[in-house]
Amino acid sequence: MINKLLSHIDYKTLFNSLGQGIVYIDHSGLIAFQNKAAEQMFAAVPSFRTGESVYHQPWHLFTKRDEPLANNDFPAIAVLKTHRSVSNAILKIALPERQPIWLDVNADPVAAENSPGIAGVILTLVDLTETMTEKQRLRSSEEKYRRFFLSNKSATFLATKEGQYLDVGLGAETLFGYTVDELKTIGRDRIIVQDENFEKAVKQRNERGSVVAEVEGRRKDGSVFPMLWHANLFTTSAGEELVSVVMIDLTEKAELEKQAERSKYNLDLVLKNTDYAFAIVDRQLRFVTFNNAYRRTIETLYNQRIDENACLLDLFAAAQKEKVEKTFAEVFAGSQKLFTDAATEGEAEVYYETTLQPLKEGSRVIGAYISRRNVTQIVAAIKKTQDLQFSLDLVMENSEDGIAVLDANYVVQSVNEPFNKTMQLVHGRKVVPGDCLMDFINSNRKPFLEETFKEVLRGEKKELTFETTNGRGEPMVYLSALLPLCKDGHAVGIFILSKDVTAAFLANREAAAVKARLERAATASYDIISERNLKTGAVKRNEAFREVLGYNESDFAQPAEAELHLIHPDDRQAVTTAIAEQMAAGHFIVKLPVYRVQHRDGHCVYVDTRMMVTRDESGEPYLLTTVASDVTEFLQLQRSLVEANEALQRQTEDLKRSNTELERFAYVASHDLQEPLRMVSSFLSLIKKRYNSLLDDTGRQYIHFATDGALRMKALIQDLLQFSRIGTDKGNKEPVDTAKLVNGLLDEFVFTVSEKGAKISVKPLPVVLAVKSNLTHVFQNLLSNALKYATHPEIEIGAEEEEEEWRFYVKDNGIGIDAKFFEKIFVLFQQLHTKNEYSGTGIGLAIVKKIIDQSGGRIWVESAVGQGSTFFFTVPKSETNNP
């Protein structure tokens, strides 16, 4: 039928004139046609257009009772599937971001002309959106009222228009305090305050047939309370006009409203005055409200003024608008946004943090709540902490000291290498961020440390010394400072700074030991030691002070003055001047002349004193250490030595003088004696020659004695002369071949040798540096003695080389010498025998000794009586040793 219709009239005009919506959908589901009314109904569904498919619609379908339906249950699709009509399906089409559409749908198949299937579906639609929305609203208000009615605070009445109660619900008793019967008797005038307000409500009821008004009720006890008066006029089947009344206690509501009013007022006050900026925009981004702070932020951020009704979008440049709209679209879709803007305010940079939140009424987003706060300080603080964080890292990386940062649960947040070096040494492993430091602590130490950590977290600073040993058992000492890390005034962690003070600690301990040793040494010292603090005047003295000077500590009433007064008055000035001068010159050690100190018993003690000046950092002397040695005995000894030396010197000079005199005398004597002796000898030989025949035997014997005496005297004088000459005539040194010299001498002695049958052996002899005539004398004398004092002489002459000298010897097998005469034989005129036993003058060995002494050598004898004698003498090799 419709096909016919369609083919014969201008169906479009027809359909468009209909108030109902008409949609034709072909067999494939394509929307082939819709009239104006349908277009309007589906205005909110852009995809529901001619040419689009009915299968792909973005909507959600619900039944009248809000039960969800599958999209395939949309009547058009159902008919395409079943070929059966659907009538009066009431549907809710829910669309994203849009108000739902309510439709009353009839769907009928359109039969295909040449095939058994259908050509399409025709939908007839009635728009129920407005009706259904209204209904829903009603339903929700009904709901509200139903809650009022059901509450036991409501009272129900059936009354006459004049206010006489015909029937009263039980709730009224609770509300007013009267019984139902009392209420029926007393009527409304007693339980409703008859004021202007009530009269107005009654008037309204009479005019409109119904009223809901807030009036004041009065209880039996006289108290007045706000209540809702809901009156409905109605006519009974008997034609009587009656009123149904519900009265509800609004005390609570009024209270709530008052509260709401108050809080609203408060809120307004707060919002208007707070620095916390806020604004509300509706979905069209028009401002609903904003506070002063918000307005200020707009001025700062966008350099614009706003007033109510302004649109947020107008604040933005065209290019930004799209972005803003997009952002708000997301907010309206339910998400929250947070972003920070930077702007300059004068010179300074300011930061605002903006929060956008959807503003909902029920589940519907009706706008957005914008709040904004100035986070400049926070940003600055964050930047600062970032800087600080940076510098902390830098500090930690570069510090030689161990650093660790713990949170409030002692969990390591960061730690540096030196800290871990210690951990490695002490605990054998490192800590890494995330470790709990307590896990590293020995259980016996844990309680103490935990207590300490807690104190730090309470805001205290702590310093701990850890004494421990490393893996090799060597001592390790750490000084740790524990500081609370605070945030907003609360300790949120612990900062640990750990310093290896082992070296200092050991040095300290060593220094203390050294100090103790020094103190012991000072106490035990024989030196008088005192230490004076120049700032405090305090003086310390050692034991020697008492022992050497006899004073006790108690003898010094004024310790600083005392020592000066001990100095002998004659020395005092010199000492004080020396101290003052050397201290002023900046000397560290002050040397003093030896001075006298008075012993407690009055005698003087000489002291040799040094003072050590210890200066502070500014160079000011503050400690004076005095060390004084008692040199009294030493000085006495020195004095007696000097005296002895002087005496010796005098003696030596006397001796020298007398020696010289003696030598001169010996020379003069022997020289001058020669002449008279020669005369005596000449005349004796003349007497013997001329008068020998005239003399008897006795006379001849006397002359023999006289001649003999003169001969001996001659020998004596010659020897003496020779002796005395040795001192005066030193002669020149020259290399002397001693072997040649000795062999020459043996020629001279050839007569004696053969007479005595002497055996002489000459060992190899060296060439030495000597005065040849002197050395000849020496050998001559020793050789002649060796021949003289032996009966059958066996003589050995030799030399032995020493490092610095030659040692010669002349060994015989003669009578020998008693040890007690070893010295005597070298003295002038000393003879061990009478001239009758052995000839000689007793000068020979004295001459030999004098020669050897003068040449820097030594002479001695080794012998025993009857065992022969060996005479030794030395000749120095080098000339320097010669005098």
- Residues contributing to the site for ligand ADP (CB under 6 A): 781, 785-786, 789, 812, 814-815, 817, 825, 831-833, 840-846, 869
**CA-closest candidate to residue 846, choices 832, 834, 829:** 829
Report the amino acid identity of residue 89: A
What's the closest the beta carbon of residue 821 comes to ligand ADP, in angstroms? 7
What's the closest the beta carbon of residue 828 comes to ligand ADP, in angstroms? 8
Nearer to ligand ADP, 770 or 790 (CB): 790
Query: Is 464 buried (19+), middle (13-18) or exposed (0-12) by CB count in 10 A?
Result: middle
Nearer to ligand ADP, 248 or 810 (CB): 810
- Using CA atoms, how far residue 749 sits from 234, 428, 492, 517, in Å, is 198, 103, 124, 80
φ and ψ of 631, to 5 deg? -110, 15
Residues 485 and 457 sit within 8 Å (Cβ to Cβ) = no
Nearer to ligand ADP, 478 or 723 (CB): 723
* DSSP state string for 663-681: HHHHHHHHHHHHHHHHHHH
Nearer to ligand ADP, 21 or 814 (CB): 814
- Reading the block at residue 54, the tokens are 């009915």
Nearer to ligand ADP, 155 or 817 (CB): 817
Nearer to ligand ADP, 406 or 817 (CB): 817
Instruction: Output the residue with the shortest Cβ distance to ligand ADP.
Output: 840
Residues 6+ apart with CB under 8 A from 18: 35, 37
Length, in residues, of the chain: 883
Nearer to ligand ADP, 131 or 761 (CB): 761
What's the closest the beta carbon of residue 641 comes to ligand ADP, in angstroms? 38
CB atoms within 10 A of CB 50: 12
CB atoms within 10 A of CB 647: 10
- Reading the block at residue 446, the tokens are 């844990």
Nearer to ligand ADP, 530 or 869 (CB): 869
What's the closest the beta carbon of residue 831 comes to ligand ADP, in angstroms? 4
Nearer to ligand ADP, 265 or 829 (CB): 829
Nearer to ligand ADP, 846 or 859 (CB): 846
Report the amino acid identity of residue 717: I
Residues 683 and 703 sit within 8 Å (Cβ to Cβ) = no
Nearer to ligand ADP, 188 or 811 (CB): 811
What's the closest the beta carbon of residue 784 comes to ligand ADP, in angstroms? 8
Residues 825 and 832 sit within 8 Å (Cβ to Cβ) = yes
CB atoms within 10 A of CB 657: 10
What's the closest the beta carbon of residue 825 comes to ligand ADP, in angstroms? 4
What's the closest the beta carbon of residue 759 comes to ligand ADP, in angstroms? 15
DSSP helix/strand/coil, 154: strand
Report the amino acid identity of residue 120: G
What's the closest the beta carbon of residue 882 comes to ligand ADP, in angstroms? 24
Q: Which residue has the tokens 């900026």?
A: 277
- Reading the block at residue 177, the tokens are 């305090």
Q: Is the dihedral of CA 4, 10, 12, 17 positive or negative?
A: negative
Q: Which residue has the tokens 């008797």?
A: 185
Nearer to ligand ADP, 387 or 823 (CB): 823
What's the closest the beta carbon of residue 810 comes to ligand ADP, in angstroms? 8
Q: List alpha helices for 692-817, DSSP H.
A: 697-728, 738-748, 750-756, 772-788
**CA-closest candidate to residue 809, choices 826, 797, 821:** 797
Nearer to ligand ADP, 532 or 811 (CB): 811
The β-bridge relationship of strands 759-762 and 794-801 is parallel
Partnered with residue 91 across adjacent β-strands are 103
Q: Which residue has the tokens 């709730």?
A: 171
What's the closest the beta carbon of residue 631 comes to ligand ADP, in angstroms? 52
What's the closest the beta carbon of residue 785 comes to ligand ADP, in angstroms? 3
Nearer to ligand ADP, 209 or 842 (CB): 842
What's the closest the beta carbon of residue 832 comes to ligand ADP, in angstroms? 3
Nearer to ligand ADP, 449 or 832 (CB): 832
What's the closest the beta carbon of residue 795 comes to ligand ADP, in angstroms? 9
What's the closest the beta carbon of residue 782 comes to ligand ADP, in angstroms? 8
DSSP assigned state of 170: T
Nearer to ligand ADP, 75 or 844 (CB): 844
Partnered with residue 682 across adjacent β-strands are none
What's the closest the beta carbon of residue 772 comes to ligand ADP, in angstroms? 21
DSSP assigned state of 835: T
Nearer to ligand ADP, 688 or 725 (CB): 725
Report the amino acid identity of residue 446: K
* DSSP state string for 512-548: HHHHHHHHHHHHH-SSEEEEEETTT--EEE-HHHHHH
Q: Which residues of 243-272 are buried (b: 16+ CB within 10 A; e: fewer)?
A: bebbbbbbeebeeeeeeeeeeeeeeeeebe
φ and ψ of 542, to 5 deg? -95, 180
What's the closest the beta carbon of residue 729 comes to ligand ADP, in angstroms? 21
Residues 6+ apart with CB under 8 A from 535: 622
Nearer to ligand ADP, 414 or 831 (CB): 831
Residues 6+ apart with CB under 8 A from 169: 155, 156, 157
What's the closest the beta carbon of residue 686 comes to ligand ADP, in angstroms? 30
What's the closest the beta carbon of residue 754 comes to ligand ADP, in angstroms? 19
Angle at 464 between CA 463 and CA 469, to 5 degrees: 155
Partnered with residue 303 across adjacent β-strands are none
